[in-house]
Amino acid sequence: MTTPTILIVEDDPDIARLLDLTLRDARYHTLTAQTATSGLVLARQHTPDLVLVDLGLPDFAGDEVARRLRATHDLPILILTAVDDVDRKVNLFAAGANDYVTKPFHPDELLARIHVQFRHRVGKRLVDVGALRLDVDARLCTYREREVPLSPREFDLLCLLARTPGRVLTRPEIARALWGAGVVVADNVIDVHLSNVRGKLRRQGGYGLIRTARGVGFAVRSPAEPTGSALAAPGAA
C-alpha cells in the first residue's frame, strides 16, 4: 500500500520539526507549511492522506483551514490547539475537524490519534473513475467489473493518478509519491510501469484511460474527458 502522506501546517519551527521527525520515524511521508495559505496550496497540489494543522496560524486560524479543506477534500483533519475551552473545541468539529490534540502533547498520543483516523477509513477507500474501480484496502483493480491484475507498484501508480482524474502528474511528483522524497528514479522505470498498466487495462477493454501530456506528465482521464484528447501523445493509449 502507498505510504500515507501527512501535511503539517505549523508556524512554530520547533514544533514543526518535532512533528516531522515523529511522523517520519513512524514511516509516514510528510509535507510542511508555515502558513494557512501555503498549507491549502500544498493540499490542492498533493492531495495528502491526512492534514495536521495548528489552530493559531499567522494568516488565519486552523479551524478556517479545516472549513476550507472540508469544502473540497474528504480526508482526516486533526487540529493542534493550546486552547482548553469546550466551546472552542466543539467549534473545531463544526468546522470539519475529525479530532484535536491539545498542546503540549506526547508523540505517542499523536500517533495513536492518527492511527485511529486511518483505521476509521478502512473499508471506505474506493477510488472510482467511470468504469474503473480501485479498492485500496483489498488491493483490487476492476474495469467494468472485470479484474485487472496489477503488481503492487502498478496498483499504487494507477491509484495515485486515479485519485485526481484529469490532473496531470509529472514524473518527479510520481517518483516522490511512490518511492519517497530523495529517492532517484529513472524516467524509464516509471514509463515501463505505465506501459504495463496500459496494456493490462486494454486487455479488459479499458482503452485510452491513461493519457500522456506532452512534455509534462500523465493523467487518468476524467469520465467527461474525450478519449481523443489533444494532449495525448501519438501512440499513447
Tens-digit pLDDT string for the chain (237 aa): 468 899 999 999 999 999 999 999 999 999 999 999 999 999 988 889 899 999 999 998 888 898 888 776 778 899 998 877 666 777 788 788 888 888 888 999 999 999 888 876 654 567 889 999 998 767 899 999 999 999 988 998 998 898 888 888 888 888 877 776 667 888 899 999 999 999 999 999 999 999 999 888 999 998 876 554 333 333 333
pLDDT the model gives residue 83? 75
Kindly list the structural domains of the chain, giving each domain's residue range(s) and its CATH number in brackets, ordered by start: 5-120 (3.40.50.2300), 126-220 (1.10.10.10)
Q: Say what the pTM is.
A: 0.54
Q: Which residues touch 42 (CB under 8 Å, ≥6 apart)?
A: 7, 31, 33, 48
